[in-house]
Amino acid sequence: MSRKKPARRTRRAAGRPKHGLWRWIIGATLLALVAAAGWIAWLDMRITSQFEGRRWDQPAQVFAAPVELYAGRPLGIERFTELLEAQGYRQADGSAPRAGFWWRQGNSVRLMTRAFRFAEGPRAAQVAQIDFDAIGIRRIRDPQGRELPFLQLDPLRIGSIFPAHGEDRMVLAPEEIPPLLAAALIAVEDRRFESHRGLDPEGIGRALLVNLRAGEVRQGGSTLTQQLVKSYFLDSRRTWRRKFTEAAMALLLEQRYGKDEILTAYVNEVYMGQDGRRAIHGFGLASAFYFGKPLAELDAAEIATLVTIVRGPSYYNPWRNPERVRERRDLVLKILAEQGALDAERAGAAAGRPLGLRGAASAGPAYQPAFLGLVRRQLRRDYRDADLDSAGLVVLTTLDPLAQQSAQSAVSDGIGQLRRRGEALEKVEGAAVVTRPATGEVLALVGGAQGSFDGLNRALDASRPIGSLVKPATYLAALESGRHTLASTLRDEAVTVVLDDGSTWQPENFSGEPLGTVSMARSLAESLNLPAVNLGLELGVETVARRLGHLAGTPPPPAFPSLLLGSVEYAPLDVAEIYGTIAAGGFRAPLRAVKAVLDETGTPLSRYPLEIEAVADPLAVAQLQRGLRLVFERGTARGAAGRLGGRQYAGKTGTSGEFRDSWFAGFGSDTLAVVWVGRDDNAPVGLTGASGALPIWADIMSGIGAADLAPNAATGLVEAEIEYATGLLARGDCADTVVVPVPEAAVLETRRDCAPRDPWDETPIERGLQWLKRALGGT
């Protein structure tokens, strides 16, 4: 455009007197020069600011918790090698040990970890041998044979916090770029890169010739510098004006920066593929995306594959067009061998290899949008978006890759099975949260049946009525009042509540006639509505609401009577907080996904250490936990026994009105999981907590291998054998009994025709029989 200006002005000047013509020509030329200089300065400013800006434009890198290995960990060798694969570790090929490699000998695995910078300081790569037995890890030794009490693997990178426009990348320093990659890019894309000044006329000429001969565009004559400029401005229009601007910018860039800097920028900038909403930029991220391991660990064939993909990430999509990619990769290897960048033997060997892409199954949780959503939410309290997008932060999180994998596959499989059951269930969705209640660490987060989908995060955002999940808050309030125990008799009778607006509320039991009276133990285990409502009304709805608020660490919900049957809405993550407090013995540990944030040099910027707060009476919680174990032994979760392999857990089912939401929340001694199943449009799905969420929950817990709930001794509690139905003290030989803890000072009533004997009056034979009956007959 600006080139035409002088011409126009010259024409206009033509009618003027002759002696003024020269002046005009000179003036116009000067003007043109000034305009051109201005244009160049403007271009220079644009390209420089882009280049400089991008150099530091590093999305925060997010890492999972490191895998912790120690003697006695119940992790089998097969599962462990799977885990290594998921971490991007590779089986050694017999060469000298390198970081990120493992090899197996019988029941032992030797490996070399990768160096990593933790918040506590850098950790060097470490060689170790791990011996397994039938139970799990038997011992860990260093190469000198000394036993190591524990070994931490380098954490798995699970994604980054990339800006809204979706560009994700892992920025590499010049020294992190493998020499073979640099050589391959130059050999294939821009042979005269080292000598040209941004443009390569010879290359353009050659490309023109090739394209003319072929009658189609086969080769681009663009230099790497031109390609870099092009990708900076995300404009693929092929106009002459664009080409001209790009060429000018390429020349300017070469004036200002060295070849190394330009190549590094190229390696970090270039578009390498698409993963849903996320655009994969740069070779660092591409290596993780396509191969599941760091760029430094790629072999010649894998580097050649990436150099193939950069040509056209869509055309050379290795999952969609593996043959096309292999052909081109082998060509790249051949070129490398011809140019002496790779010796012919290695190139030949590499050419025969399969692509070796990460498989969907072995990939592990490479990219976890749901969990990253929680990370982002936690970080936004302390960091600006711009810092997260571009300041090169390192975020160390609590994600447990194994738990995430188990939880995602349990939800995906479980929802898949439900969807096949019928029309009402075709659109059913699910969500799950797995935590370590003692510390508040979120181990896994599943936002929907489709794991990699970066959409509605139901674990965080789907607030739904929790149904009977609310009841433990009522029972806890009752146990804390000191007036009730699990043996208390509750009224299972119809009740009518007059509401503030004059209308009435008449809750009903889920099924069957009211029993009249029932033990608290049974009422809790079988999730009876009327006893829970009667008890809640006796305690006061406000008391229950406050209890719930304490457990959740949020303000109490509005105290409507319908709260007692769970009309209150919580997201799965909130439910995990509530049940986490119960699982942790009454100590609430605020849930957290981030442990520490480091800056790009590895200096800790912030840490999020463990916090706990005593919010409930530990003795009342111990009793409640026993009641929640009865849910599995006697109550609504009986059906899960087959999926749990004999392990003992505590938990509760929840079903909201008209079967819209199906919930299960439960825990072992150190893991808690919450599962929600329902529809996004809130339509009824016809599932109870037991038929929808419970099987998925059970699959998560058994997938993780969650430890049993070991009942803790609590000074101040004694065990009582009570009749399950009535709560009266009774004997197992004449009544259906359960053993529950009650406060020492509690006064219990006895069933007269089946009164317990003083245990110390019994003969050893009687005691033995009692014990055998309980041990064999306990369900």
Partner 1 sequence: MAEASAGRNMKQHDESRQAIRHPATPPARTANPARHWLRAMGLALAVVLAGCAGLPIGQVPAPDAEEPRHGRGPEAPISELPGDPQAPPEEFPELPGGAGPDVELEPDYHPAGQALIDEARRERVLGRDAAAGATLERALRIDSQNPWIWIELGKLRLAAGELAATRSMAQKALTLADRDPAARAEAGYLLRQADGGS
Region of 49-57, 174-182, 412-420, 710-718 interacting with partner 1 (CB under 8 A): 710-718
Question: Of 85, 160, 167, 189, which is the active-site residue?
Answer: 189
What is the closest distance, in whole angstroms, from the C-beta atom of residue 636 to partner 1 in the complex? 20
764 lies in the binding site for partner 1 (CB under 8 A):
yes
Q: Are 469 and 566 in contact (CB under 8 A)?
A: yes
Distance in angstroms (rounded) separating the CA atoms of residues 727 and 521: 7
Nearer to partner 1, 373 or 741 (CB): 741
Distance in angstroms (rounded) separating the CA atoms of residues 508 and 249: 75
96 lies in the binding site for partner 1 (CB under 8 A):
no
Tell me the chain's radius of gyration from C-alpha atoms: 34
Nearer to partner 1, 507 or 743 (CB): 743
Minimal CA–CA distance to 100: which of 289, 298, 283?
Answer: 298
Distance in angstroms (rounded) separating the CA atoms of residues 333 and 338: 9
What is the closest distance, in whole angstroms, from the C-beta atom of residue 540 to partner 1 in the complex? 27
- Label each residue of 352-366 as H, E or C: CCCCCCCCCCCCCCC
**Binding string, 724-753, against partner 1, x = CB under 8 A?**
----xx---------x-xxxxxxxxxxxx-
Residue from 163, 507, 556, 618 touching partner 1 (CB under 8 A): that is 618
557 lies in the binding site for partner 1 (CB under 8 A):
no
717 lies in the binding site for partner 1 (CB under 8 A):
yes
Nearer to partner 1, 351 or 593 (CB): 593
What is the closest distance, in whole angstroms, from the C-beta atom of residue 441 to partner 1 in the complex? 8
Distance in angstroms (rounded) separating the CA atoms of residues 283 and 242: 26
Region of 115-123, 338-346, 360-368, 509-517 interacting with partner 1 (CB under 8 A): 115-123
- Active site annotation includes 189: yes
- Active site annotation includes 2: no
Cα–Cα distances in angstroms (integers) from residue 64 to residues 67, 116, 286, 385, in the given order: 9, 12, 19, 21
What is the closest distance, in whole angstroms, from the C-beta atom of residue 769 to partner 1 in the complex? 6
Nearer to partner 1, 604 or 686 (CB): 604
Nearer to partner 1, 74 or 540 (CB): 74
What is the closest distance, in whole angstroms, from the C-beta atom of residue 587 to partner 1 in the complex? 5
Phi, psi of 84 (to 5 degrees): -60, -40
Q: Are 621 and 582 in contact (CB under 8 A)?
A: yes
Residues binding partner 1: number (CB under 8 A): 83
The letter for the amino acid at 611 is E
What is the closest distance, in whole angstroms, from the C-beta atom of residue 586 to partner 1 in the complex? 8
Nearer to partner 1, 152 or 463 (CB): 152
Binders of partner 1 in range 572-591 (CB under 8 A): 585-587
Region of 84-92, 113-121, 169-177, 293-301 interacting with partner 1 (CB under 8 A): 113-121
Nearest 5°: the CA angle 195, 199, 200 is 65
Nearer to partner 1, 164 or 765 (CB): 765
380 lies in the binding site for partner 1 (CB under 8 A):
no
Binders of partner 1 in range 633-672 (CB under 8 A): 648, 669-670
Length of the chain measured in residues = 779
Nearest 5°: the CA angle 264, 266, 270 is 135
Report the b/e string of 269-282 with b at 16+ CB within 10 A: bbbbbebeebbbbb
Question: Of 222, 406, 468, 523, which is the active-site residue?
Answer: 468
Helix 300-309 to helix 344-351 angle (10° resolution) is: 70
DSSP 423: G
What is the closest distance, in whole angstroms, from the C-beta atom of residue 732 to partner 1 in the complex? 10
The letter for the amino acid at 475 is Y
Minimal CA–CA distance to 402: which of 367, 436, 364?
Answer: 364
Minimal CA–CA distance to 298: which of 187, 209, 179?
Answer: 179
483 lies in the binding site for partner 1 (CB under 8 A):
no
Binders of partner 1 in range 121-160 (CB under 8 A): 121, 133-136, 139, 149-150, 152
The letter for the amino acid at 158 is I
Nearer to partner 1, 17 or 121 (CB): 121
Binders of partner 1 in range 502-521 (CB under 8 A): none
Strand-strand pairing, 271-275 and 278-281? antiparallel
Binders of partner 1 in range 441-470 (CB under 8 A): 441
**Binding string, 237-276, against partner 1, x = CB under 8 A?**
----------------------------------------
Q: Are 698 and 682 in contact (CB under 8 A)?
A: no
Residue from 235, 338, 719, 736 touching partner 1 (CB under 8 A): that is 719
106 lies in the binding site for partner 1 (CB under 8 A):
no
Distance in angstroms (rounded) separating the CA atoms of residues 255 and 418: 63
Strand-strand pairing, 127-132 and 137-141? antiparallel
Region of 522-530, 565-573, 692-700, 711-719 interacting with partner 1 (CB under 8 A): 711-719
Nearer to partner 1, 166 or 604 (CB): 604
Cβ neighbors of 198 (< 8 A, separation 6 or more) are 223, 225, 226, 247, 250, 251, 252, 253, 254, 255
Distance in angstroms (rounded) separating the CA atoms of residues 250 and 283: 21
Region of 117-125, 178-186, 361-369, 491-499 interacting with partner 1 (CB under 8 A): 117-125
What is the closest distance, in whole angstroms, from the C-beta atom of residue 290 to partner 1 in the complex? 32
Residue from 168, 299, 721, 723 touching partner 1 (CB under 8 A): that is 721
Q: Are 397 and 370 in contact (CB under 8 A)?
A: no
What is the closest distance, in whole angstroms, from the C-beta atom of residue 720 to partner 1 in the complex? 5
Nearer to partner 1, 37 or 739 (CB): 739
Q: Are 630 and 524 in contact (CB under 8 A)?
A: yes
Nearer to partner 1, 336 or 619 (CB): 619
Structure tokens at 593: 């996904």
Burial class (CB in 10 A: 0-12, 13-18, 19+), 74: exposed
**Binding string, 20-59, against partner 1, x = CB under 8 A?**
----------------------------------------
Binders of partner 1 in range 202-241 (CB under 8 A): none
Residue from 50, 60, 73, 302 touching partner 1 (CB under 8 A): that is 73
Region of 308-316, 525-533, 552-560, 770-778 interacting with partner 1 (CB under 8 A): 770-778
What is the closest distance, in whole angstroms, from the C-beta atom of residue 604 to partner 1 in the complex? 7
What is the closest distance, in whole angstroms, from the C-beta atom of residue 154 to partner 1 in the complex? 15
Cβ neighbors of 535 (< 8 A, separation 6 or more) are 474, 475, 478, 484, 490, 520, 523
β-sheet bridge partners, residue 665: 652, 674
Neighbours of 720 (CB within 10 A): 20
Nearer to partner 1, 212 or 710 (CB): 710
Q: Are 309 and 286 in contact (CB under 8 A)?
A: yes
Binders of partner 1 in range 290-329 (CB under 8 A): none
Distance in angstroms (rounded) separating the CA atoms of residues 328 and 444: 39
Residue from 366, 563, 720, 735 touching partner 1 (CB under 8 A): that is 720
Nearer to partner 1, 431 or 443 (CB): 443
Region of 230-238, 455-463, 655-663, 707-715 interacting with partner 1 (CB under 8 A): 707-715
Strand-strand pairing, 90-91 and 108-112? unpaired
Positions marked catalytic: 189, 468
